[in-house]
Amino acid sequence: MKLNVYRFYLILLLSCFLFSACKKSEVPIAPPAITISIVPGEVKLANDSFFGAKLEVKIENLQPGESDSVVWSSENPRIAWVTEKGVVWPDAAGETYILATMANGKGVARCKVVVTDGNDYKFRLVLKDKGQSNLSINYPETFLSPKAIERRRKQNIPIDASDLPIAPEYLKAIQQIGGTIVAKSKWLNTVSVNCTDEFLIDKYKALPFVKDVILVWEGKRKAADTTPKYNDVPQTGNNHTPNGPLNYGSAFDNININNGQVLHNKGFRGAGIDIAVIDAGFINFKTNPALKNVHIKGAKSFVYENDNPYSVDSHGIWVTSCMAANQPGTFVGTAPEANYWLLRTEDEASEYPIEEDYWVNAIEYADSVGVDIVNSSLYYTTGYYLPSSRYKFEDMDGKTAFATRGANVAASKGIFIVNCAGNEGNWVGTPADSPNVLTLGAIYSNLKISAFTCSGITTDGRIKPDVVAMGGGPSVVNESGNSEARSGTSYASPIMCGLAACLWQAYPKLTNVELMQVIRQSADRATKPEIPYGYGIANMQKAMELSKAITASR
Determine the Cα–Cα distance for residues 183 and 181; give it in Å rounded to an integer.
6
In this prediction, residue 407 carries a pLDDT of 98
In this prediction, residue 1 carries a pLDDT of 47
Phi/psi for 484 (5° steps) reads -150, 160
Which residues of the chain carry a pLDDT beneath 50? Answer: 1-3, 17, 19-24
Under 8 Å between Cβ of 294 and 266: no
- CATH 3.40.50.200 residue window(s) in the chain: 252-384+395-552
Under 8 Å between Cβ of 383 and 346: no
In this prediction, residue 5 carries a pLDDT of 55
In this prediction, residue 4 carries a pLDDT of 58
Q: Shortest CA distance to 443 belongs to which of 349, 535, 328, 348? A: 535
In this prediction, residue 10 carries a pLDDT of 55
Question: What number of residues does the chain have?
Answer: 554
With a CB cutoff of 8 Å and minimum separation 6, the contacts of 516 are 416, 436, 438, 466
The CATH code for residues 252-384+395-552 is 3.40.50.200
Return the CATH class of domain 35-116.
Answer: mainly beta
Determine the Cα–Cα distance for residues 500 and 440; give it in Å rounded to an integer.
12
Under 8 Å between Cβ of 441 and 421: yes
Q: Shortest CA distance to 80 belongs to which of 70, 93, 62, 69? A: 93
Determine the Cα–Cα distance for residues 497 and 418; give it in Å rounded to an integer.
6
Rounded to a whole number, what is the distance in angstroms from the first to the last CA of the chain? 154
In this prediction, residue 6 carries a pLDDT of 55
Helix axes 540-552, 512-521, angle to 10 degrees: 130
Q: Shortest CA distance to 62 belongs to which of 103, 96, 18, 16? A: 103
- Chain centroid to Cα 415, Å, comes to 21
In this prediction, residue 190 carries a pLDDT of 98
